[in-house]
Amino acid sequence: MATVTTQQAGQSAGANPGPRRQPKTGRFSSSVFKKATMAVTGIIFVLYLIAHMVGNLKAFAGAETFNNYSEFLRELGEPILPRLTVLTIIRVVLLVAIATHIWAAVSLWRQAKRARPIGYVTKKRVQQSYASRTMRWGGIILFLFIVWHILDLTLGAVNPAGRDSLPYGRLVEGFQNPVVVIWYAVALIVLGFHIRHGVWSATQSLGHSNKRRERALNVFATAFAVVLIGGYLLIPFSVLFGIID
C-alpha cells in the first residue's frame, strides 16, 4: 500500500522537512574539532608567553644581559644547527598556530552569526563572564597588537630607536612614551581576559574539565592570568617610571 494523501500523492503534509543542510562529518568541519585546535594553539601561545615573559624580565638585569639574551635566542642550537634555526622554528610554529587559531575563530564566529539571525529585544546575562564575551573582539585587538609589537620591538620599524637599534634600546626608547605604554597596557589587559577565559575554556574544549575541577580551574585561570599579565606590565611601567633606563 502506497503512502497516499489525497491532496498530494507521496508528499505528506506536516512531515518533518528533514535536515536543512546535509551534515558534514569530516573532522575539520566539526565545531568541536575547531574548538580543540583553538585550544591547542592557544596553549602554544600560552607556553610561548610564559617563556617570553621570563625573557623580558631579564630587562631588569640591564642592557647587556637583555641584548645577550636576544642574541642567545638567535644562536640557540649553534654550532650543531645554523644560526636562527631554532628561532625560525619557533616563528613558524607560532605563525601556523596563529593562522589556525584565527581560521577556527572566524569559522566559529560565522557559525554563531548564522545561529542567531534575529537578535533579542531584551537579553540579560545570567552567568557569562566579561572575559568569555570579549574573546572575539579581544582576539582581534590582540592580533593587531602582535603585528604592531613585532614591527615595534623585533623589526624596530615603528620604534623611535629605529631599525638598526638593539632590542634593549628599542624597549627603553619605546616605553618612554606614555601613549605607547598605555597601548601596551590595554593590549595586555585584553590578553589577560583572553587567557583568563582561554585557560578554563581550553581545558573544557579538550575534555579535561569536570564538576570537581570546575571551580579550581576557574580560580587557577584567573590567578594565572593575573600573574602573567602582571609580569608583562612590569617592564613598560618600570621604563616609564625610570626604574629601567
What are the b/e assignments for 78-89, b being 16+ CB within 10 Å? Answer: eeeeeeeebeee
Q: Which among ligand HEM, other proteins, none contacts residue 158 (Cβ within 5 to 8 A by kind)?
A: none
CB of 6: closest distance to ligand HEM in angstroms?
A: 53
Window 184 to 243, contacts with ligand HEM (CB under 6 A): 184, 188, 191, 194-195, 197-198, 201-202, 205, 232, 235-236
Which residue's CB is nearer to ligand HEM, number 133 or number 216?
Answer: 133
- 79, 80, 119, 215: residue in contact with other proteins (rule CB under 8 A): 119
Q: Which among ligand HEM, other proteins, none contacts residue 156 (Cβ within 5 to 8 A by kind)?
A: none
N residues, the chain: 245
What are the b/e assignments for 132-146, b being 16+ CB within 10 Å? Answer: eebbeebbebbeebe
Q: Which of 196, 166, 195, 187 is nearest to 236 (CA)?
A: 187
∠ CA 43-49-51, nearest 5°, is 110
Q: How far apart are CA 51 and CA 70, in angstroms?
A: 13
Report yes or no: 63 and 168 within 8 Å, Cβ to Cβ. yes
Residue 205, burial from CB neighbour count under 10 angstroms (0-12, 13-18, 19+): buried
- 79, 80, 122, 163: residue in contact with other proteins (rule CB under 8 A): 122
Locus of grid cell 522537512: 17
Q: How far apart are CA 209 and CA 203, in angstroms?
A: 6
Q: How far apart are CA 103 and CA 64, in angstroms?
A: 40
CB of 123: closest distance to ligand HEM in angstroms?
A: 18
CB of 129: closest distance to other proteins in angstroms?
A: 8
38 lies in the binding site for ligand HEM (CB under 6 A) = yes
Residues near other proteins (CB under 8 A) are: 1-9, 12-27, 29-36, 108, 111-112, 114-129, 132-133, 135, 197, 200-201, 203-211, 214
Residues near ligand HEM (CB under 6 A) are: 35, 38-39, 42, 45-46, 49, 52, 56, 70, 73, 91, 94, 98, 101-102, 105, 132, 135-136, 139-140, 142-143, 146, 149-150, 153-154, 167, 171, 184, 188, 191, 194-195, 197-198, 201-202, 205, 232, 235-236
